Amino acid sequence: MSIVEAPLHRRVTEELRARIGSGEWPVGMQLPSEAALCREFGTSRGPVRQALATLRAEGVVVGGRGRAPVVGRFVPSQSFSTFTSFTEWARSIGKAPGQRTLELAKRPATSVVAGLLRLGEGGAVIDVLRVRSLDGVPTMVERASFILEVGLHLADFDCDSGSLHAHLTSRGIDLRRARHTIDAVAANRLDAEVLGIATGSPLLRERRLTCDGAGRPLCVAEDRYRPELANFAIENEVDRRTPLTRADPTHDRSAHP
């Protein structure tokens, strides 16, 4: 073994951490046996045990002591079971949320944004561009456009200080419903620069239209996440409703004619 190489147990640790961090080994997965890991890394039990102990100490691996170790929470997942802010979500997973505001501007809406927010021709919006972090690591670029009535509440708010969502809610803004569209996008130059990644890297994108209780659009936003730092998780069950459609006027989402 060359003198410049990291100790074996550290290389095993980093390799296992990378597999878990990338999601290749997802939360809840039972780890291969120590014997299998020894074979894979061509090592004795010592380094493997040391690596597992390190990861267990970090909570990346849980269990063990009689029970087989499994992958713990590592790449934090956001759920859509409730509608929460990045700040609330970060706290819920034990991470410190952070934000740096790159721009707060009032300007005429683009035609796309004007259409989404149902603004008239040349209507203005308040645009906010921020980079959001988890434990100080830049994780997401947030681009939001608010209708004036909502965005004006940001004039006296330090957007670096925390949650816009909490601030606006405290001002009585009814951020009630959202429609999220999720896809993937290549990092542009700005994304790459503020997230510290290469241009063209795949980012997880969430576009969001937020409305009040009456269905009035208040904000359109686009969040771009580094996929190795945050993902989305959804659990569902096979639809147990009968194939016969049951008209239910209270569920206006089932808007099929």
Residues in 203-232 that interact with its own copies by CB under 8 A: 203-205, 207, 209, 220, 225, 227, 231-232
Binding to its own copies (CB under 8 A) within 43-62 occurs at 50, 53, 56-57, 59
- Report in angstroms how near the CB of residue 26 gets to its own copies at its nearest: 6
Binding to its own copies (CB under 8 A) within 144-173 occurs at none
Residue 199 backbone phi and psi in degrees, to 5: -55, 140
Farthest-apart Cα atoms in the chain, separation: 72
Token couple for 185: 């996008």
Alpha-carbon gap, residue 114 to 80, rounded angstroms: 26
Binding to its own copies (CB under 8 A) within 82-111 occurs at 82-84, 111
State which residue, 53 or 102, has the beta carbon closest to its own copies: 53
State which residue, 101 or 205, has the beta carbon closest to its own copies: 205
State which residue, 141 or 204, has the beta carbon closest to its own copies: 204
65 binds its own copies (CB under 8 A): yes
CB 234 within 8 A of CB 79: yes
238 binds its own copies (CB under 8 A): yes
80 binds its own copies (CB under 8 A): yes
State which residue, 136 or 249, has the beta carbon closest to its own copies: 249
State which residue, 193 or 228, has the beta carbon closest to its own copies: 228
Out of 44, 170, 191, 235, name the contact with its own copies by CB under 8 A: 235
Please report, as a single letter, which amino acid is at residue 191: D
β-partners of residue 186 are 202
124 binds its own copies (CB under 8 A): no
42 binds its own copies (CB under 8 A): no
- Name residue, tokens 């419903």: 177
State which residue, 147 or 204, has the beta carbon closest to its own copies: 204
61: alpha, beta or left? (left if phi > 0; alpha if psi -120 to 50): beta
Exposed/middle/buried for residue 256 (C-beta within 10 Å: 0-12, 13-18, 19+): exposed
Alpha-carbon gap, residue 114 to 125, rounded angstroms: 9
CB 186 within 8 A of CB 200: yes
